[in-house]
Structures are given as C-alpha cells and as structure tokens.
Amino acid sequence: MPGTGALPPRMFQLPHRAVRLTRRARRSLPAWPVLPALSALLALLALATLSVLWPAAPRAFAADPPGGKAAGASAAARPALTVTVVSPSPVSWPQTVAANGSIFAWQEASVGSETPGWRIAEVRAQVGDSVRRGQVLAVFATELAEADLAQQRAALAEAEALLAEATTNANRARELQPSGVLSAQQTQQLLTVERTAAARLEAQRAALAAQQLRLKQAQVLAPDSGIISARWATVGAVVQPGQELFRLIRQGRLEWRAEVTAADLALIKAGQAVRVSAVGAPPTGGRVRMVAPTVDAATRNGLVFVDLLPPGTGAARGAPAGARAGMFARGEFEVGNGQALTLPQTAVLQREGFSYVFKVGAEHKVQQIKVSVGRRLGDRIEITAGLEPAARVVAHGAGFLGDGDLVRVVEAAAAATAAPGKAASAAVPGKK
C-alpha cells in the first residue's frame, strides 16, 4: 500500500517454477527422523564395548608395571617342577626268548565200535567229562547178542553130549578089539567119531568164547584216563565197524607248540623252564619236552613242544587252570642270565609310539632324549640304546615336563624321608 512503506504481497511469492523445484528437492531428501535412531544405536554399541574392555584395563596395567620385563625374566628363571633323579643301574636279569603258538592236546585217543550193526541204547559221557580208564562211555542194545550167546551155549552142550557118546563107543571098541568081534574098520570108525566129537566140542567152546567177547563189546569203555573232547555217539544210532564215537584227551595233558625262529632255536634245550600266558587264562609254567628236528621252509620257524604244568605240581599231569586246546598263547623261554641297564618304569615316557626320558643337565635343565627299551620286570624296564650309564634322568613326573624346562633336583635320600606324594612325585613349587 502506498504510503505505508510495506512491500506488496506479490513480491514475497516465488515464481511457479521455483516452487515446483523446491517441492522436488524436498521429496528427494532422506528421511531425517531415522538419523536419531541410528545415533542411539551407535551409542549403545560404544557403551557395550567400553564395558567389556574396561575390566581388563586394570589387569593390563598391573601385568606391565614399571620394570615389568625384569619381573618376567625372574619368573622365567623359576624352576618348573621339583623332581628326583636316578641313574640307570645294571642288574642281572634272566635272558628269555619270546615266542607265540597254540595249545594242543598232548595225545588224543579215538574211541569207536568194533562190532557192526549194533544200536546205541545209552550214552553215559559228554564233552568235557573227566573219565577213568575202563569207564563205560556208551552201551549198545544187547538183546540179539544175548540170544546168540544162549544159542551158542546150547550148541556147546550138544557137542559135549555127542563127545560123551562117541567116547563110550570108542572105549567099547577098544575093549572088544582083542576078541575080534569088531573088525578093524569098525573099530577105526568109532575112534574117528570120538576124535571128531572132541574137535566139534572145542569149536563150540571157541564160538562161545567169541560170543561172550562180542557181548562184552556191547559196552564202549575208555581206553585211558582223560577228558572227553568230542562226542559223535547218539542214542538210537546204528554204528558201523571202526566208526568213531568219542575222542579223548589222554590224561588231560596239554602242550604248547611254540614257533621259534631258527636263530633262537639253538638256545632252547629240553628241560628248560617256560612261562606261558594264554589269552583269557592265568599265566602258567611249563617245561620243554622236545625241540623239533626240522624248520619250516616257508616261515623259517621251528616248533618247540612244551608240557604245560598244572599249578602246584612238578609233574606234567593234568591241565593248567583256564587253558584249553586250541587257545593262542605267548611264552618266554628262560635261556640264562645276563646284565641289563634298567630304569624305573616311571622314568620312561611314551609319546607318539616312542620312548623318551628327561636327562638333567649341569644347569638343572632337562633334555628330552629318545631311548630304546626292552624287557620289563616288576617296576623296572630295560634300556637297550640311547642313554649312557652315568646319565641322570627324572624319576617321576616326566609327563609334566618339556624339553628345556628348569627343574629343582631333590636327592633320593631326602626324597625317601619326605612325605609321600611331595618329593617323590612331581610337585609345583610354591604349592601348599
């Protein structure tokens, strides 16, 4: 309006094109209300990270105080364990030859039938039974045999009667021979009849004895004392001559047939003591009975026959407890005595299939050394290579040590007087 000094309203209005451009720019701008939410999320993440790192800060400062490198060096120089040391000791150990083999019966007896066509009426022995010599194992049906025996006895009685008659006639002919009543031919016929009747009587007696023997065979008897290892006899079966009905381990004796290499075969002699360990049975003693005169051309091994001894007996009679024919067994032949370098078994560590010991050096630092081991006897083990006799090795707690660790050595005398579990075993210094 003129006179008021104010600008007209149209001067404050933008052109139509400028208004349209402003609206387009406003639509292209991002959604500004989302920015406060993103800022809040970033702030929460920062607080969470600070809460995790803040408790470790005091420990980090405490772990590296002024002079921290010197303190770390002093801690590194502290001994790792307190140990006792031991040196290999030479001892006289029995020299043995190890071998593998199977257990067999010493001798087996086959029990069968001698009479054909007989039917089994009763079986009195089973597998595993201990039997005595002459014990009845099975019985055949004897009705037919008893009838044959009765018939044979009747035939014997008939033969005896005929012989008696022939003897009477022959005696009468001998009496009348001087008078000439009977001719010489008649007299000779009567004497021949007497001799024929006597022969028939002897034949009938032999037949009767055979029939009695056949009747005795109606019982299957054990030929020797032992253990029944197999049975084929069944009730009702009709057996054939020579058919096997039972198998018997004579006297219950077992033997171990060890396969020994040709190089060690010359060290084994008859009568040497043997220690045999069968799978699933307690160890038992044995004695070499015989060494085979030949060696297998394929395996280059020879057989050694060892009589297994029952516990508490010195004679090769019976079978040891738990041993069975057919079992696999390992054994050792005692061939003499020799010197062996030994260590306690606790001083030898097994790692990755090898044996190691920790040798203590001049500065009480241990060195892991690979060794070769041999026989074991009690709590001692033989060292065959890799360690000199004057070496000092860790006796206990080798499994807690590493190569180059510093240890504190306690003498064996002091360790013996200490409380069990402290000086004798590996102990961490400073632990109460």
Q: What is the pLDDT along the chain (432 residues), one digit of tens a residue?
A: 444 444 444 444 545 554 454 455 445 444 445 555 666 677 666 666 655 454 444 444 344 444 444 444 444 557 667 888 888 888 888 788 889 999 999 999 999 888 888 899 999 999 999 999 999 999 998 888 888 888 989 999 999 999 898 898 888 888 888 887 778 888 888 889 889 999 999 999 999 998 888 888 888 999 999 999 999 999 999 988 888 999 999 998 999 999 999 988 988 999 999 999 888 888 888 999 999 999 999 999 999 999 998 755 444 455 677 788 889 999 999 887 888 889 988 889 888 889 998 888 877 888 888 999 888 888 889 888 888 888 888 888 777 888 888 888 876 544 444 434 433 333 333 333
C-alpha to C-alpha distances, 35 to 40, 41, 311, 331, nearest whole angstrom: 9, 10, 94, 87
Please enumerate in sequence order all residues whose Cβ is within 8 A of that of 250, keeping only pairs 6 or more positions apart, or say none. Answer: 105, 106, 107, 108, 109, 224, 225, 226
Question: Helices 143-176 and 184-216 sit at what angle, rounded to 10 degrees?
Answer: 160
Nearest to 381 by CA among 356, 347, 349, 344: 344
- Please tell me the number of Cα atoms within 13 Å of 102 on its side-chain side: 5
pLDDT of residue 35: 55
Please enumerate in sequence order all residues whose Cβ is within 8 A of that of 217, keeping only pairs 6 or more positions apart, or say none. Answer: 113, 114, 115, 140
Within 4-67, residue ranges assigned H as helices are 16-28, 34-53, 56-63
Amino acid at the residue 371: V
Nearest to 272 by CA among 97, 93, 92: 97
pLDDT of residue 36: 59
